[in-house]
A and B are shown apart, each in its own frame.
Chain A
Amino acid sequence: MVGRRLSRWREARLDDPRHSDRVAAILGALLGVSFLVCFLTGLLSHLIQHPPSWFSWTTRPAGLYRVTQGLHVATGVATIPLLFAKLWSVFPRLFRWPVADNALHAIERLSLLTLIGGSLFMVTTGVANIELWYPWVFFFPAGHYAVSFVVMGSLVIHATAKWATARRELRRHPAGPREPALSVAGRRRFLGAVGATSAALVVATVGQTVSPLRKLSILAPRRPDIGVQGFPVNRTAVEAGVTDTAQDPGFALAVETGGETLRTFTLTELGELPQRSATLPISCVEGWSTSQTWDGVPVRDILDRAGAPAGRSVRVESLEGGGRYRSSDLTPGQIDDADTILAMRVKGEQLHVDHGFPLRLIAPNRPGVLQTKWVVKLVVS
């Protein structure tokens, strides 16, 4: 009978130390940590971009989002070898016969479908996203967000079911009393190879946010020092369809409230206002980041000069005709940070149109997609 044959094959494979409970427990614990880090950092990014009423996001420390999102992507990348090693290590266990002994056991085994399929979905879509490749119909953040909960819920079920085994295996002395030295060595070599592959993959990509490693990161989809004016662009003026409007000599910034224009500022007028210089990161949700020195006028000063009421939130609108990221919101707390500026210059030069000329928002501790470019309007709520 095929079931019994497969079951015997399973038993033979599980004698191999690389398929042991201890390897499953070690890889499982590492994956548990990496999934949790990815989930929490991803959730944070989601909350910052779509804040519910109970959530507010601070402007300090200025580089915090750069760290959390860099960690999100780097941890996700590190997870790939761990995940495949774990799946390979436990694969023989799939062929248990009978498939399950009772209803709870069957439910536990069925929950692996959402855990494994969901985990592979998360790493695959995550990698494709940082590589700017979208071979699917759904909007990446919406799909990645929804499935992250499916994976974490399945993980709670799986981790609880395996808790006793994992605890026992992780607590026992690395070389058990009945374990031959060769088994221990085989297991360690396997885990060493998995760890080395994981580390190599991280080094090959993490330089897109950890600048000193950029020359080692030869598989990074971005380099923090490559792009117009020496740093990357996420969306160019051509892609946004603003090349002509952004360079219109008659450009003026408007400050509005309740459908009424409080004041407009020409670029000359903005240039004559007291300027603020701020060294702040652009931190892309795709995991690259770069710190630059920006010069411009604090949003607070512009609002004050326009006579806008204080303590209100502000919508920052772009010249872009459409798209999900044509505007972003600033809370009163974010506006009051003096480093929240409408920048006109970077690295001492006029902004390139791809970096948001004539005006771009740059503020501390904010995802790149919310650092609105080609700003034309501030709408006070």
Chain B
Amino acid sequence: MNERSEQPHDEEHPRPLLFIPALIAGWAIIGFGIRSALSHSDDAHPFALLVHIVTFDLAHDLVIAPLVLVVGWLVAKVVPETARGPVRAACAASALFIVFSYPLVRRWGLRPSNSSALPLEYGRNLAIVIGLVWLVAAAVIVRRVRSNRTT
């Protein structure tokens, strides 16, 4: 068996005629960003930016993506097939809303003298949003079950 037939989903490789000019243009733009960070280093802290970018790469590939795969696998183990898609989607949407709202819920950005900053009850509101997400998921599951029964 050759390498090609083992990878039927293999990606198309970049075409040099288009890709090399794009590489030059792309790195010129990246270079402008790097120059901006270096020339305003007191504000931009270029090394900290680099550390953050690498940390996000590693956090995604080593933590977030494996975690999502494990949750997806667990859902497949315990949830019947009809409900699997909506449950997975609701898990993903809930996680996203929680991560988005967590600094609001914990009021990390609160300013004691400013009543207009973070003025809402974010813990309760996050619970409402997640409740709605699962309500929609439940509605989709019910509809699927009913449609399976009629067919």
Contact between B53 and A136 (Cβ–Cβ < 8 Å)? no
> Known: A118-B53, A204-B129. Is A104-B13 also a contact (CB below 8 A)?
yes
Contact between A138 and B129 (Cβ–Cβ < 8 Å)? no
> Known: A94-B61, A139-B44, A165-B12. Is A80-B96 also a contact (CB below 8 A)?
yes
- What is the bound-complex CA distance between A248 and B123, given in angstroms? 41
Contact between B23 and A107 (Cβ–Cβ < 8 Å)? yes
Top 6 A-B residue pairs of the complex, sorted by shortest distance between their CB atoms: A149-B33, A132-B109, A227-B116, A153-B29, A160-B22, A153-B30
How many interface residues does chain B have, given as a range?
A: 35 or more
Contact between A222 and B119 (Cβ–Cβ < 8 Å)? yes
Contact between B52 and A114 (Cβ–Cβ < 8 Å)? no
In angstroms, how far is the closest chain B Cβ from the Cβ of A260?
A: 34
Instruction: Name B20's closest neighbour in chain A (CB-CB).
Output: A104
In angstroms, how far is the closest chain A Cβ from the Cβ of B92?
A: 7
Contact between A221 and B104 (Cβ–Cβ < 8 Å)? yes
Contact of A10 (CB < 8 Å), options: B9, B43, B128: B9
Residues of B within 8 A of A145 (CB): 33, 36, 44
Residues of A within 8 A of B129 (CB): 200, 204, 218-219
In angstroms, how far is the closest chain A Cβ from the Cβ of B144?
A: 10
Contact with B along A95-119 (1 / 0, CB 8 A): 0101001101101100101101110
- What is the bound-complex CA distance between A231 and B116, given in angstroms? 8
Residues of A within 8 A of B53 (CB): 113-114, 117-118, 121, 147, 150
- What is the bound-complex CA distance between A131 and B99, given in angstroms? 12
29 contacts between A and B (CB under 8 A): A84-B92, A93-B11, A96-B7, A114-B53, A117-B60, A120-B59, A131-B103, A132-B117, A137-B48, A139-B44, A143-B45, A143-B48, A149-B33, A152-B29, A153-B26, A156-B26, A160-B19, A161-B22, A197-B93, A200-B129, A200-B133, A201-B96, A201-B100, A218-B125, A218-B128, A222-B119, A223-B119, A226-B119, A239-B114
How many residue pairs link A and B with beta carbons under 8 A? The number is: 242
Contact between B26 and A154 (Cβ–Cβ < 8 Å)? yes
- What is the bound-complex CA distance between A197 and B95, given in angstroms? 11
Residues of B within 8 A of A193 (CB): 85, 89, 92-93
Contact of B56 (CB < 8 Å), options: A80, A81, A116, A152: A116
Contact with A along B11-40 (1 / 0, CB 8 A): 111111011101101111111111011001
Contact between A147 and B33 (Cβ–Cβ < 8 Å)? yes
Contact between A120 and B60 (Cβ–Cβ < 8 Å)? yes
Contact between B13 and A223 (Cβ–Cβ < 8 Å)? no
Contact of B57 (CB < 8 Å), options: A113, A186, A222: A113
Query: Is the CB of B8 closer than 8 A to any CB of chain A?
Result: yes
Query: Is the CB of A124 closer than 8 A to any CB of chain B?
Result: yes
Residues of B within 8 A of A227 (CB): 115-116, 119
- What is the bound-complex CA distance between A67 and B100, given in angstroms? 23
Contact between A222 and B22 (Cβ–Cβ < 8 Å)? no
| Number of A interface residues in the complex (CB < 8 A) | 88
Q: For the complex, would chain A's binding face be called helix, strand, loop or mixed by DSSP majority?
A: helix
- What is the bound-complex CA distance between A166 and B135, given in angstroms? 35
- What is the bound-complex CA distance between A118 and B34, given in angstroms? 12
**CB within 8 Å of B: which residues of A?**
7-8, 10-11, 14-15, 80-81, 84, 87-88, 91, 93-94, 96, 98, 101-102, 104-105, 107-108, 111, 113-114, 116-118, 120-121, 124, 127-128, 131-133, 135-139, 141-143, 145-150, 152-157, 159-161, 163-165, 186, 189-190, 193, 196-197, 200-201, 204, 218-223, 226-228, 231-233, 235-236, 238-239, 354
Residues of B within 8 A of A142 (CB): 36-37, 40, 43-44
- What is the bound-complex CA distance between A189 and B8, given in angstroms? 25
- What is the bound-complex CA distance between A133 and B54, given in angstroms? 21
Contact between B117 and A153 (Cβ–Cβ < 8 Å)? no
> Known: A93-B11, A163-B18. Is A221-B33 also a contact (CB below 8 A)?
no
Contact between B11 and A221 (Cβ–Cβ < 8 Å)? no
Given contacts A118-B53, A150-B30, A160-B19, 17 further A-B contacts (CB under 8 A): A14-B9, A87-B60, A87-B65, A121-B49, A124-B56, A143-B43, A143-B49, A146-B49, A153-B33, A156-B26, A161-B14, A201-B100, A218-B129, A226-B116, A231-B116, A232-B116, A239-B114
Query: Is the CB of B145 closer than 8 A to any CB of chain A?
Result: no
Contact between B103 and A201 (Cβ–Cβ < 8 Å)? no
Which of A93, A104, A143, A232: most chain B CB closer than 10 A? A143
> Known: A147-B53, A149-B29, A165-B11. Is A222-B44 also a contact (CB below 8 A)?
no
- What is the bound-complex CA distance between A15 and B15, given in angstroms? 25
> Known: A142-B43, A147-B33, A149-B32. Is A84-B48 also a contact (CB below 8 A)?
no
> Known: A163-B18, A197-B92, A197-B96. Is A121-B52 also a contact (CB below 8 A)?
yes
